[in-house]
Amino acid sequence: MSGGLFITFEGGDGSGKTTQAELLGAWLVEAGRTVVRTREPGGTEVGVEVREIVLHHRGDIAPRAEALLYAADRAHHVATLVRPALERGDVVIQDRYVDSSVAYQGAGRVLDPDAVRGLSEWATEGLAPDLTILLDLDADVARTRLDSARTRYDRLEAEASAFHTRVRAAFLALAEAEPSRFLVVDASLPVAEIAAAIRERVAGLL
């Protein structure tokens, strides 16, 4: 990737991904790196429209249709934003990627996780992160955080506790299967302590 670095943040809603991504981005900019901060869905103009459908559509979306929408957003996002940034040598810090689909649509919606992963691998032409930071948090604690921060929930946040428990278990299983790619951090730790652990791991990749 010509010196580029692809870092993704994963974890349940309320785990602090946005906060930690912003802190890491600021640290890398201070270190002289060009940083591209993005998210899925919603990292492009097309993605904003897809995000509105998958997170805020009133009424049901069939699980397979939902998985396809996320994959469509991912294909466009990687082709038009992520891969060009990596080819320039930038550091891409992204909130959610393929692992989220495997956890949310695979485990959460009870679809075949291998099929969900295969769909995204085709959509992205196999682009994998150099590092995935999983912010792990008990589903009930995450719900408490969301309750204090949200006036309304999106479609996934509003799912029952059992859904979010399955998603968390799936994320942890993914991390266990690929320990060299994942950094798992206890998201209940103080913000500064989490940020320090992330910087230490990222420093080894620069």
> Is the model's pLDDT at 144 over the cut of 80?
no
Tens-place pLDDT, residues 27-70: 999 999 999 999 998 899 998 998 888 877 777 889 899 899 99
Strands 131-136 and 35-39, by their bridges, are unpaired
Picking from 156, 132, 135, the residue whose alpha carbon sits closest to that of residue 63 is 156
For 204, the token pair is: 């080894």
DSSP 90: P
CA distances from 175 to 6, 46, 183 (A): 17, 30, 8
The CATH number of domain 5-203, selected from 3.40.630.30, 3.40.50.300, 2.40.160.40, 2.40.50.430: 3.40.50.300
Residue 71's pLDDT is: 94
Residue 159's pLDDT is: 61
8 Cβ neighbours under 8 A, 6+ residues apart? 93, 94, 95, 96, 97, 99, 129, 131, 132, 133
Residue 66's pLDDT is: 87
Q: How far apart are CA 45 and CA 94, in angstroms?
A: 16
Pairwise pLDDT comparison (5 vs 142), residue with the higher score: 5
Q: Is the pTM of this model over 0.75?
A: yes
Tens-place pLDDT, residues 101-135: 999 888 878 889 999 999 999 999 999 999 999 99
Q: Is the peptide bond before 41 cis (omega within 30 degrees of 0)?
A: yes
Picking from 188, 187, 183, the residue whose alpha carbon sits closest to that of residue 198 is 183
User: Using 50, 70 and 90 to split pLDDT, how confident is the model at 163?
Assistant: confident
What percent of the chain is modeled with pLDDT above 70?
Answer: 90
Picking from 134, 20, 122, the residue whose alpha carbon sits closest to that of residue 70 is 122
Q: What is the mean predicted confidence (pLDDT) over 172-186?
A: 97
Q: How far apart are CA 74 and CA 162, in angstroms?
A: 27
> Is the model's pLDDT at 156 over the cut of 90?
no
Residue 141's pLDDT is: 82
Q: What is the mean predicted confidence (pLDDT) over 144-173?
A: 71
Q: How far apart are CA 188 and CA 161, in angstroms?
A: 18
Tens-place pLDDT, residues 1-20: 447 999 999 998 888 999 99
User: Using 50, 70 and 90 to split pLDDT, how confident is the model at 138?
Assistant: confident
Q: How far apart are CA 26 and CA 185, in angstroms?
A: 19
Mean pLDDT (the chain, rounded): 89
